Amino acid sequence: MDRCPQCDEAFEPGYSVCWRCGTSADGAPPADGFVPDEAPPASRAPVVRKLNCLRCGEPMVLSRRMKFHEGSRTWPVGLGDVGELLVNRESFDVHACASCGKVEFFLA
Ligand SMILES: [Zn+2]
Ligand SMILES: [Zn+2]
């Protein structure tokens, strides 16, 4: 398990940038615009949006908060151009409709 050279926080699996202070595994300082997360990944509480599915009108539920770091190319397969757009943002929330399966992404 890699740990942050700055604050000794464990990196999330697959990431080379500290989620807490933005320091890279090689000790590089945080990127411009880095916004530290206020809590460990397990206890993060994404904003809960009250959404109704655009397709069927059923309430949508927050599926998970996903986090990308600039330069990584690890967005889910199938996002295409949307993935290109999102990869420059810190994170986004995924809402899903339990009724019809529609999934929507929201920038966090
Ligand atoms: Zn750190
Ligand atoms: Zn639906």
pLDDT on residue 95 = 87
Angle, alpha carbons 21-26-32 (nearest 5°)? 45
- Say if residue 77's pLDDT is above 60: no
Q: Residue 19, exposed/middle/buried by CB under 10 A (0-12, 13-18, 19+)? A: buried
What's the CA-to-centroid distance between 25 and ligand 1, angstroms? 9
What are the residue ranges spanned by the domains of the chain? 1-38, 46-107
With residue 103 as reference, give the H or E element that holds it: strand 103-107
Distance 36 CA to ligand 1 centre (A): 9
pLDDT-derived band at 61 (thresholds 50, 70, 90) equals confident
State in Å: Cα 37 to ligand 2 middle.
Answer: 31
Ligand 2: distance of its center to the CA of 108 in Å?
A: 22
Whether the per-residue pLDDT at 9 is higher than 80: the answer is yes
Tokens matching residue 34:
């880095």
The position carrying tokens 């807490």 is 20
66-80 mean pLDDT: 57
Percent helix, strand, coil in the chain (nearest 5)?
Answer: 10, 25, 70
- Mean pLDDT of the 19-27 span: 88
pLDDT of residue 97: 92
Q: Which ligand is nearest to the CA of 59?
A: 2
Q: Would you say how long the chain is, in residues?
A: 108
Tokens of 42: 């397990």
Q: Which residue has the higher pLDDT, 21 or 89?
A: 21
* CATH architecture of the domain formed by 46-107: Single Sheet (2.20)
Span 79-104, pLDDT tens digits: 555 555 555 556 778 888 989 998 88
- Determine the Cα angle at 60 with ends 55 and 64, to 5°: 125
Ligand nearest to the CA of 99: 2
